[in-house]
A and B are shown apart, each in its own frame.
Chain A
């Protein structure tokens, strides 16, 4: 190897090694562990087979839980996007200073992790330090119950967690929209609602789809908000995986992770098939 080749070969080697450790090895380990059976005492692999998957699909319980989680996260994605698009449009129309302030505010709130977000909302929804206590003090409601754990609490907090990220992702695309397109629509007599649904939404189809995919991926793999704010019957699939990891039933937890990954890939493929195609241009 001569001196000319050295600087080029070194980064390639570094990246190949890195990709093997952090990208390919995890997927390989995921697959091999999911089809392994280990000795509960020593943790050594005894045999390979589909036992873990047979246990997962012994009845419909986990399949129903995956379907529930996919449905829940899809609903969270739809609600988040329905709020994010008009709110981002409102921010995009602001003057420079106000818009900059909003971007910093959004970035600051999205810097809160799942754990901190869940904790902050537990306080806000508690009777001692939050809304139920304030409303009770004002005589608007009676009783001394906190509003969590509950399904609405979990749902709202997951939307709260996703909203700033969705808005930050949408903002560049909305800023790039051609203002003449909207002005011409108004000149042609379109109403504001017609402009929103017939001009803005179709123009933003690509960015909305990409943001929806990222919002979906961000939420489907999380478990903290679901576990902290929801009742056990509301918990998402990732909670089961985390619990089996905690109790050292690793192969079964890995098999569940593998099933979740397959379900997510199927969802993405279906979403891409339905929404990912470019609309047929008509003249």
Chain B
């Protein structure tokens, strides 16, 4: 049985990571064509990536969009989660459903419909439009983590704070926020990663005038493959890995996944 488990998990790791290893290897290929194992290995495509303004601009756009949309999404999620935590009413449950709706719609359907909204607001083809689209898409993620964090607060802690004469504002700032902070940070980081990677909403709202890195990679493929594409992909992988490692190191990974460790 142990052998079967070992074989199946080895197979899984090969399945999941072989494509990534090929991308990593091809990013170090010397000549312009794609090859694995890399021929005449060099880091020239990395220097090429960071010295080409079309690539660095699209990376910068992705970072700006991801930072703003994950921050806004976390604020909206926090407000929604706190309202439901304070009072489990029909209205507050409707808020939870409404802010989560964009995440649950089929991707293309939400992308098309939010592009219509941004067009009517005059935001099509602007960073603000993509930030709005990503914020809407991502709120569901920090909402889940914020609610997990709020579930850690016991009623007795709130009662004790009240007995000590804390005002509602003090309970919020000195008890609730410190307890749920790691959950909010993790939610914000998860949404940051997803925003950096998101293509469909960004493509529909970009109006062909703004390129994020996924849009740039997608568009560049039409002109043939070159190792800069692999470099872009690896930059993203490294970015996601650093953020995920931070979440894992925070010690909250298991409870964020809803797992109680023994």
Shortest Cβ gap from A241 to chain B (Å): 5
Shortest Cβ gap from B147 to chain A (Å): 14
Interface of A is mostly: helix
Q: Tell me if A201 counts as interface (CB < 8 A to partner B).
A: no
Complex contact B112–A30 (CB within 8 A):
yes
Q: Tell me if A104 counts as interface (CB < 8 A to partner B).
A: yes
Q: Tell me if B117 counts as interface (CB < 8 A to partner A).
A: yes
Shortest Cβ gap from A190 to chain B (Å): 15
Complex contact A117–B19 (CB within 8 A):
yes
Q: Which residues of B contact A11 (CB under 8 A)?
A: 79, 82-83
> Which one of B15, B82, B132 lies within 8 Å of A22 (CB-CB)?
B132
Shortest Cβ gap from B207 to chain A (Å): 10
Q: Tell me if B98 counts as interface (CB < 8 A to partner A).
A: yes
Complex contact B217–A119 (CB within 8 A):
yes
Total A-B Cβ pairs within 8 A: 221
Q: Which residues of B contact A29 (CB under 8 A)?
A: 113, 116-117, 120
> Which one of A26, A172, A175 lies within 8 Å of B110 (CB-CB)?
A26
Select the residue from A115, A217, A257 with max chain B CB neighbours within 10 A. Answer: A115
Complex contact B95–A260 (CB within 8 A):
no
Q: Tell me if A224 counts as interface (CB < 8 A to partner B).
A: yes
Q: A22-B136, A128-B35 are in contact. Are A119 and B95 (CB under 8 A)?
A: no
Interface segment, A55-63, A74-82, A89-97, A274-282?
A89-97
| B residues 217-234 in Cβ contact with A at 8 Å | 217-218, 221, 225, 229-230, 233
- B5-41: contact bitstring with A at CB < 8 Å (1 yes, 0 no)? 1001100110111111011001000000111100000
Q: Which residues of B contact A113 (CB under 8 A)?
A: 197-199, 214, 236
Q: A26-B117, A116-B233, A224-B218 are in contact. Are A104 and B248 (CB under 8 A)?
A: yes
Q: Tell me if B70 counts as interface (CB < 8 A to partner A).
A: no
Q: A18-B76, A22-B102, A22-B136 are in contact. Are A128 and B113 (CB under 8 A)?
A: no
Q: A120-B233, A129-B26 are in contact. Are A171 and B200 (CB under 8 A)?
A: no
Q: A100-B253, A109-B17, A111-B240 are in contact. Are A260 and B114 (CB under 8 A)?
A: no
Q: Which residues of B contact A260 (CB under 8 A)?
A: 106, 108-109
Q: A105-B13, A261-B106 are in contact. Are A124 and B18 (CB under 8 A)?
A: yes
Complex contact A108–B240 (CB within 8 A):
yes
Q: A123-B225, A124-B22, A129-B22 are in contact. Are A26 and B102 (CB under 8 A)?
A: yes
Q: Tell me if A230 counts as interface (CB < 8 A to partner B).
A: no
Interface size class of B (residues with CB under 8 A): 35 or more
> Which one of B22, B76, B112, B257 lies within 8 Å of A130 (CB-CB)?
B22
Q: Which residues of B contact A198 (CB under 8 A)?
A: none
- A23-40: contact bitstring with B at CB < 8 Å (1 yes, 0 no)? 111110110010000000
Q: Which residues of A contact B20 (CB under 8 A)?
A: 109, 112, 120
B208's closest neighbor in chain A, by CB? A246
B29's closest neighbor in chain A, by CB? A129
Complex contact B112–A257 (CB within 8 A):
yes
Complex contact A86–B8 (CB within 8 A):
yes
Q: A123-B23, A129-B36 are in contact. Are A115 and B240 (CB under 8 A)?
A: no
Q: Tell me if A182 counts as interface (CB < 8 A to partner B).
A: no
Q: Tell me if A72 counts as interface (CB < 8 A to partner B).
A: no
Q: Tell me if A151 counts as interface (CB < 8 A to partner B).
A: no
- B164-195: contact bitstring with A at CB < 8 Å (1 yes, 0 no)? 00001100000000000000000000000110
Complex contact A14–B95 (CB within 8 A):
no
> Which one of B9, B19, B108, B120 lies within 8 Å of A241 (CB-CB)?
B108
A120's closest neighbor in chain B, by CB? B19
Complex contact A245–B248 (CB within 8 A):
no
Q: Which residues of A contact B136 (CB under 8 A)?
A: 21-23, 26
Complex Cα distance, B5 from A87, in Å, reads 8
A30's closest neighbor in chain B, by CB? B113
Shortest Cβ gap from A44 to chain B (Å): 13
A107's closest neighbor in chain B, by CB? B244
| 17 new A-B contacts at CB < 8 Å, known A21-B136, A108-B241 | A11-B79, A18-B99, A22-B135, A24-B98, A26-B110, A26-B117, A29-B120, A116-B197, A116-B233, A116-B236, A120-B23, A123-B22, A124-B18, A242-B203, A250-B116, A253-B112, A264-B109
26 residue pairs A–B, Cβ–Cβ below 8 Å: A15-B76, A15-B99, A22-B136, A26-B116, A29-B113, A30-B116, A103-B253, A106-B16, A108-B244, A111-B194, A111-B236, A112-B20, A112-B240, A123-B22, A123-B230, A130-B36, A217-B105, A221-B108, A221-B111, A222-B107, A224-B199, A238-B107, A257-B109, A260-B106, A260-B109, A261-B105
Interface residues of A (CB under 8 A from B): 7, 11-12, 14-15, 18-19, 21-27, 29-30, 33, 86-87, 90-91, 93, 96, 100, 102-109, 111-117, 119-124, 126, 128-130, 160, 163-164, 168, 171-172, 175-176, 192, 217-218, 220-224, 228, 238, 241-242, 245, 250, 253-254, 257, 260-261, 264
